[in-house]
Amino acid sequence: MAGKDVMVLDARGRKLDPCPAEKADRLVSSGHATMVSEYPAVIQLDRVVEISEPAPKPEPDNEYAGQRVLLHICCAPCGTYTINRLRELEFDVAGFWYNPNIHPWEEHERRRICLAEYTERIDLPVLWHPDYRMPEFLRQVSGNEQFRRRCAHCYEMRLAETARVAREEGYDAFTTTLLISPYQDQEMIRRIGERLAQKAGVEFYFENFRRGWSERSRLTEEHALYRQSYCGCIYSEWERYNSAQIDTILPDA
């Protein structure tokens, strides 16, 4: 058996670590093992060797640990608490910028640049949608400009794109910073998100992020982030500054 290592079995026939040929010869010569095969060289010991089983890997304490989530971000202030919360849950978080509802273009860019600076500071990767689809947004809400009615189209448009990108990029789930705002329809967002998730085959992570609204304000001030005065679309700007007139111009029906 000179040369190569020899395969070793215990008395129960369980495979052990191989040993050098010289040691195998000594075991056979001393009667502590028998030769089972010469080619390949295999010996079997005359005793049972206790084999310790590898310890099972501990289950993660958090069911979300390591899961990849794509977070649609409407603005840097709303991203502050939301990003921290998802990281606290041990999600592997990436941001997604897609907000064709934001008007005018200068406002869109101011919010986008603010988010880019903030996410670089906190080391958050972000997927930036290459297009500004404001005309498509206006076509979607045409005839449905009233508050809440237009919001449904806005949520649908942004979450559908987030779900699509999450699926194509292999994320486990997607969610949105819109869930932190007390000015948004949280239940509508949840219904739309869950429906789109089922269609895309990617989970929609829902949490009432509004509990972090005051922390959002604190972090916004701490990081000196641009804080906008209206939701984003031209209609929300109009309502913000002309609330006395808009109901007569945009009737419910």
pLDDT in tens, 30-49: 888 888 877 788 888 888 88
Is pLDDT at 93 greater than 70 in this prediction?
Answer: yes
Calpha distance 174→165 (Å, rounded): 9
pLDDT, mean of residues 159-187: 97
Report the distance separating Cα 253 and Cα 242, nearest Å.
20
> HSE of 104 in the Cβ direction (CA atoms, 13 Å)?
1
- 59 in a structural domain: no
Residue 6 confidence (pLDDT): 86
Are residues 100 and 175 part of one domain?
yes
Domain that holds residue 19: 6-45
Mean pLDDT, residues 110-139 taken together: 96
> What is the identity of the amino acid at 57?
K
Amino acid making up residue 84: N
3-state secondary structure of 101: coil
Number of domains in the chain: 2
25 and 95 assigned to the same domain = no
**Does any domain span residue 52?**
no
**pLDDT confidence of 245, banded at 50, 70, 90?**
low
Residue 223 has pLDDT above 90, yes or no: yes
Strand partners, 147: none
Pairing between β-strand 42-45 and β-strand 33-37 as defined by DSSP bridges: antiparallel
> 0.85 cut: is pTM over it?
no
